[in-house]
């Protein structure tokens, strides 16, 4: 049995004071939510505030990106050891906004994922098709290319520590969620890629989250699909009551 995992992706929202205020409201609402692993991925500069505010709770704090070198002359970048040093436990890798606006490729997704694992950070690796790819029937081919470039080169031991997030690009921030059946089909396709590369046991074990306009009112239908192990939540994670009701689906 895979334990559900709900991760909030705050993107470029909230300052340190808003971060502290959020956790004050959020933590009591999820204090009894032991059915589920919970993470909040905050902007870099607010990670210390988020770690302090999460305190000894079960809510893990994550970043939204990392660079693959440990240190060096890479102006503007943040490394895995730096994230660990401020108390991060997980990190999103390869989000479609990184791919679309910041030239992330499957090759750099792999490097970042490997860097996360070397630093004992739990990577949440995002894959997903764009609207024109879905409309031209290329969804599974796109998922295969992203899997082969970004995940398949990992060792089995490394892969065992990865969470995958399926996020159809057309559903992110648009209010258009994939139907539970559409999401489950994509999750099945990803899981069969995992079976072919890493074997049936690895495919049974890996958690695949759905992301794209997950809200309190559609999470139940998504989580009713046995293929869907949790959600990566953007907009609806910004408000404590809304994300808590997703956690407590």
61 is a contact residue toward ligand PGA (CB under 6 A)? no
Rounded Cα distance, 202 and 101, in Å? 32
Contact 16, 46 (CB under 8 A): yes
- Is 95 one of the catalytic residues? yes
30 is a contact residue toward ligand PGA (CB under 6 A)? no
Nearest CB to ligand PGA, comparing residues 167 and 227:
167
Q: What are the b/e assignments for 104-116, b being 16+ CB within 10 Å?
A: bebebbbbbbbbb
Binding map of ligand PGA across residues 120-159, x = CB under 6 A, - = no contact: ----------------------------------------
Sign of torsion over alpha carbons 94, 100, 102, 104: positive
Q: Nearest to ligand PGA by Cβ — which residue?
A: 234
Quote the least distance from Cβ 225 to ligand PGA, whole Å. Answer: 17
Rounded Cα distance, 25 and 221, in Å? 26
60 is a contact residue toward ligand PGA (CB under 6 A)? no
Binding map of ligand PGA across residues 221-240, x = CB under 6 A, - = no contact: -----------xxxxx----
**231 vs 3, 5, 101, 221, 246, CA distance in Å?**
12, 7, 23, 12, 9
Query: Roughly how many angstroms between the first and final C-alpha of the chain, as a whole number?
Result: 17
Q: What are the b/e assignments for 65-88, b being 16+ CB within 10 Å?
A: bbbbeeeeeeeeebbbbbbbebeb
115 is a contact residue toward ligand PGA (CB under 6 A)? no
Angle formed at CA 125 by CA 99 and CA 222, multiple of 5 degrees: 105
209 is a contact residue toward ligand PGA (CB under 6 A)? no
Quote the least distance from Cβ 234 to ligand PGA, whole Å. Answer: 2
Quote the least distance from Cβ 8 to ligand PGA, whole Å. Answer: 9
- Which segment (27-35, 81-89, 181-189, 212-220) binds ligand PGA by CB under 6 A? 212-220
Contact 246, 215 (CB under 8 A): yes
212 is a contact residue toward ligand PGA (CB under 6 A)? yes
219 is a contact residue toward ligand PGA (CB under 6 A)? no
Rounded Cα distance, 146 and 226, in Å? 23
Q: Among 95, 104, 129, 227, which one carries the catalytic annotation? A: 95
168 is a contact residue toward ligand PGA (CB under 6 A)? no
Q: Among 60, 97, 133, 167, which one carries the catalytic annotation? A: 167
Half-sphere CA count of 141, side-chain side, radius 13 A: 7
Q: Which residues of this protein are in contact with ligand PGA, per CB under 6 A? A: 9, 167, 172-173, 211-214, 232-236
Active site residues: 95, 167
């Amino acid at each position: 049995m895979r334990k559900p995992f709900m991760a909030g992706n705050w993107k470029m929202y909230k300052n340190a004071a808003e971060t502290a205020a959020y956790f004050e409201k959020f933590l009591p609402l999820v204090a009894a939510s032991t059915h589920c692993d919970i993470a909040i991925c905050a902007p870099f500069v607010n990670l210390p505030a988020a770690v302090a505010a999460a305190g000894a709770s079960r809510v893990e704090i994550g970043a939204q990106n990392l660079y693959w070198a440990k240190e060096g002359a890479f102006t503007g970048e943040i490394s895995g050891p730096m994230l660990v040093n401020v108390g991060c436990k997980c990190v999103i890798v390869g989000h479609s906004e990184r791919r679309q606006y910041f030239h992330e490729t499957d090759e750099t997704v792999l490097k970042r994922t490997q860097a996360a694992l070397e630093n004992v950070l739990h990577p949440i690796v995002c894959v997903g098709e764009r609207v024109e790819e879905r409309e031209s029937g290329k969804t599974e081919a796109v998922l295969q290319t992203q899997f082969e470039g970004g995940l398949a080169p990992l060792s089995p031991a490394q892969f065992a520590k990865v969470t995958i997030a399926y996020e159809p690009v057309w559903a992110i921030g648009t209010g258009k969620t994939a139907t539970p059946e559409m999401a489950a089909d994509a999750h099945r396709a990803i899981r069969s890629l995992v079976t072919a590369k890493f074997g049936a046991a690895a495919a049974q074990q890996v958690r695949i989250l759905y992301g794209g306009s997950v809200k309190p009112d559609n999470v139940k239908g998504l989580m009713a699909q046995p293929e869907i192990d949790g959600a990566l939540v953007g907009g609806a994670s910004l408000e404590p009551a809304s994300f808590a009701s997703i956690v407590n689906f």
